Amino acid sequence: MQLISFNKYNNTKRQGKLNRKKVFIIVIIVIILILLAVFTSLYILNKTFRNNVDKYIFRKNIEENNGPVIELPSQVDNNNILAYDNYIGILNKSILNIYSTSGKKEKELEVEISSCIYDTSNRFLAMAEKEGTKLELISGTDILWKTDIEGSIEKIFVNKNGYVSVVITGTTYKNVIITYKPDGTELFRTFLGKTTAMDVEISNDNKYLAYGEVDTSGSFIQSNVKILSMEKAQTDPNNSTVYIYPAESKEIIAELKYQDNNKLICMYDDSIHVIEDNSDKKILDISDAKNTFADINLKNSVVCITEKSSGLFANIDVEITNVTNNKSNVYNIDGVASSIKTLENVIAVNLGTEVYFVNSSGWLIKKYESSTEINDIILGSSVAGIVYSDKIEIVNL
């Protein structure tokens, strides 16, 4: 009996030690969770605290001359600078020099284009001679195909799968839209006799071609968005239109963008709409004079920049609206924006000597600070180029 009592006593002691250890661990976990909650709340709600954390803990601030640099050729006026996929390209005198995100020259391509207009998506770069006849498609560091067209190329578009459309002038029609397969085979032509094509887009599933047109022949300007079945356009072009959306009187269509899930985003001069399942919905009003910039070239969002004050304490709101649930996130910046660039989930806001890279959830990715005026910003899938008169500094995002 004494032995049994002794074992019970030992078990009780061990259980007490174990319970104290468990309590200690739970207390530590609770303290950590409370500290994380306080840290998160301060980060979200306190702008000064968030800026300090971004700068000193997360190291999101980048200063000029701390990243890879590409020196520009001396003939500055002849340079066409562009970004696509994970590359930066410099077109000068029909030579396209392609650089990696480390600033290393990867390849030199001889192209038949000297002054270009271009569009990029995924790994593709579509280039055309500005108001010329030459057209080329590049993937990575290789030329996939090139062709000559009749007329003058005004606009160019490529989707993520390599389908290309160009808008042509200088024929018997006001505009002709020519669409190509990824291998360069011409699919079909769309003829516009009385209207002007403002923008063209091909859906991510390659089933639809959408274009925005403006008719100025009547007593007032009429904008329309037309969606064509690409399959029908190859066999029965006169009956290939599956949807027409006429804009309200005097609204001018500016840009189209097929985003995720084949949502077609339409930006007019005073509003942004989404077309999905043959229905149109206005998602954002941009008619306010304080709305300085708007852009729709994101994966699943649109962005509008609004001036909130002026003078010595000027600041702006970068409002990002999700097109699926219509919820908005706002990132506030001290200063005035001179330009913006967007791609996929990145918004680059140029303030002249500073650039804020913000994601579509409204959080800062990187802040770039310069000692001199920034000429331009170019964006690739995971890279940005800060363009100066004599160099490009690379920022990996």
Please write the tens of the pLDDT for every residue from 49-107: 888 888 888 888 999 988 899 998 765 567 899 999 999 999 988 999 999 999 999 99
d(CA 245, CA 111): 39
What digits encode the pLDDT tens for the residues 308-352? 876 677 899 999 999 998 999 999 999 999 999 999 999 999 999
Full-prediction pTM beyond 0.85? yes
Q: Which two tokens stand for residue 322?
A: 């999700």
Residue that the structure tokens 């949502």 belong to: 263
Residue 3 is predicted with a pLDDT of: 46
Residue 290 phi, psi dihedral angles, 5° rounding = -85, -5
38: confidence class by pLDDT, cuts 50, 70, 90 = confident
d(CA 283, CA 124): 30
CA atoms within 13 A on the CB side of 230: 21
The string over 115-131, giving b where at least 16 C-beta atoms fall within 10 Å of a residue's C-beta and e elsewhere, is: ebbbbbbbebbbbbbbe
Q: Using the predicted structure, report yes or no on whether residue 218 has a pLDDT greater than 60.
A: yes
d(CA 198, CA 211): 7
Residue 79 is predicted with a pLDDT of: 82
Residue that the structure tokens 């310069």 belong to: 370
Residue 37 is predicted with a pLDDT of: 86
